[in-house]
Amino acid sequence: MPYIDEALLDDLDELQRKDSQDTLRALASAGAQVREGLTLAHEAGIDRLATMDRPRSVLVAAIGGSAIVAEVLELLAEPGSPVPVQARRNLPLPGWVGPLDLVVAVSLSGRAPGPLAVAAEAARRGAMLLTVGADDSPLAEVCRRARGVHVGVGRGRTSSRTALWTMLTPVLLGADGLGLLDAPVQMLEAVADRLDRKAEEMRPSSESFVNPAKLLAVQLAETVPVVLGDGPLGGVAAARASSMLARTARIPATFGELPDAASGIVACFDGPYTSLGGRRQGTYDDSRIRLGDIDTSSWEPHHFAEPDGELMERATGPDQGGGRDGGRDIFADPYLDGPSPPPLGLLLLRDAPLEPPTRESVEAEALTDAVLATAREAGVRVLEVQAEAGAPIVRLADHVATLDFTATYLAIGLGLDPSVSPHVADLRDRTR
């Protein structure tokens, strides 16, 4: 089982020494990134988009740490956008893309092969372009030749994992101007305020027994993590969490979104990482899995509304089946029986209940509660992060801030540099 040094998380000198590229400082600048992004977008002429004819469709090209930009745009545009919004990581550019369409390409360096190739092909076909990346980059040059709108990323942005809001803010502002989603300047300023507050709560000088991100990092270190979102917004946050845990903390974590992922996640509760260990009596009919008294076979994703809520971290106590022993046999002898595997840890990202509740939101809440009850009975360690009230993008910012800080503290607590991976460097050398 990985060992995390809790004392290290409260040692400011050690935190700074392990964090060679100031990842924590970069994450704390998220609110400032939003405000800078607004300024850079206006200086670049983002308002031009509002004067153009509404595009027939929007295609967003982003990869790696920038991929969440496309996922967020899809998430926020889906409920009310009058035109389809689609993500694309690389060529081929769909054959239907032409002069009536808008292509958004995002790359912090402006040199990522996928977005750059998509932007170049879109420009060749005469499509409208909005690009975000370094000013002195091939991506910026492609956009300017096509007479599109290019927004720079300012100075000191070295990693797409820590510069999310620098890249996302101009895209949201442009989409708002086109009427694809609701993200006016006032709402983005509210995002910046929320990110500032989260940075204050999770600052390095905040001790581990009160710092939500440090607490969550310590709890996740002792588990095989599974991240589950209770709806579309939580699903995007879960994907981000999985990416950050893998790339920053070097912890592989599967992820899913309710209701679709219910059966796949619950099936893991019978596996080797829970107290059941695959020895539970009886069988399941996979075509009709029942969680308590709730039949999920006929439920569809669009049945579930996105509630507003408040983001607070809490973990179940030992008496709730999610305690520190994870439901394992406390009498097991590690010398005779071999070391016990780490327990499964279910990290649930949930919104607060919708007010007033609807039939769909009640059903969604019931499914979430049923999954948690099943997890606790199986000895899974359950951790919950609940979103604070606000617009969808504000709530998403809440989730993302907590999870980004958590992954970074987890890396440092395990003795790793959150920004430097020798194996990633080796891979780059071998593929040049």
Note the pLDDT of residue 338. 57
- 228 plus 172 within the same structural domain: no
Q: Map 130-199 to HEC letters.
A: EEECCCCCHHHHHHHHCCCEEECCCCCCCCCCCCHHHHHHHHHHHHHHCCCCCCCHHHHHHHHHHHHHHH
Same domain, 157 and 287: no
Provide mean pLDDT across the span 334-352: 78
Give mean pLDDT, residues 293-315: 40
Supply the pLDDT for residue 70: 95
Does 93 have pLDDT greater than 50? yes
The pLDDT of residue 339? 62
What is the pLDDT at residue 331? 60
Lowest mean pLDDT among 214-223, 283-292, 327-336, 401-410: 283-292
Looking at 193, 221, 240, which one is the last position of a domain? 193
* pLDDT for res 311: 34
For the stretch 267-294, pLDDT in tens is: 999 888 887 664 444 444 443 334 344 4
Tell me the mean pLDDT in the region 386-407: 94
Q: Could you tell me if residue 174 is inside a domain?
A: yes
**pLDDT at site 177:** 95
Question: For residue 270, what are its two tokens?
Answer: 């019978």
Strand ranges of the sheet holding 128-132, from the earlier edge strand across to the other edge: 85-88, 58-61, 102-106, 128-132, 149-151
Are 229 and 372 found together in one domain?
Answer: yes
Residue 293 within a domain:
yes
Confidence of residue 351 (pLDDT cuts 50, 70, 90): confident
Do 156 and 218 reside in the same domain of the chain? no
Q: Which range (169-183, 245-259, 348-362) has the least confidence?
A: 348-362
Burial 260-296 (b: 16+ CB within 10 A, else e): ebbbebbebbeeebbbbeeeeeeeeeeeebebeebeb
Query: 276 versus 402: which is more confidently predicted?
Result: 402
pLDDT tens-digit profile of 104-163?
999 999 999 999 999 999 999 999 999 999 999 999 999 999 999 999 998 888 899 999
Whether 1 maps to a domain, the answer reads: no
- Could you tell me the two tokens for 79? 């409920």
**Within-domain flag for 203:** no
Place of tokens 């002195």: 136
CATH of the domain at 314: 3.40.50.10490
Please tell me whether residues 177 and 107 are part of one structural domain: yes
Which residues are registered as beta bridge partners of 240?
Answer: none
Q: Are residues 271 and 122 in the same domain?
A: no
Position 56 scores a pLDDT of: 96
- Single out the residue of 208, 183, 161, 195 nearest to residue 420, CA to CA: 161
Q: Examine residue 359 and state whether it is found in any structural domain, yes or no.
A: yes
Q: Is residue 432 part of a domain?
A: no
Same domain, 237 and 164: no
The residue range of the domain holding 153 is 23-193
Residues 256 and 301 placed together within one structural domain of the fold? yes
pLDDT-based confidence at residue 336 (cuts at 50, 70, 90): low
Q: What is the number of residues in the chain? A: 432
Distance, CA of 67 to chain centre: 10
Q: Which of 63-72, 313-322, 393-402 has the lowest mean pLDDT?
A: 313-322
Same domain, 167 and 225: no
Give residue 288's pLDDT. 37
4 within some domain: no
Same domain, 82 and 115: yes
**Residue 156: per-residue pLDDT:** 83
The pTM of this model reads 0.85
In the chain, the percentage of residues whose pLDDT exceeds 90 is 70
Q: Which pLDDT score, from 0 to 100, does residue 333 have? A: 60
In a shared domain, residues 185 and 223: no
Note the pLDDT of residue 320: 40
How many domains, in total, are found in the chain? 2
Question: Secondary structure of the chain: what % helix, strand, coil (to 5)?
Answer: 45, 15, 40
What mean pLDDT value characterizes the chain?
86
In a domain, 184, yes or no: yes
Task: Say whether both 176 and 38 belong to one domain.
Answer: yes
> Which is higher by pLDDT, 6 or 186?
186
Does the structure show a pLDDT above 60 at 212? yes
Over residues 221-239, the mean pLDDT reads 94
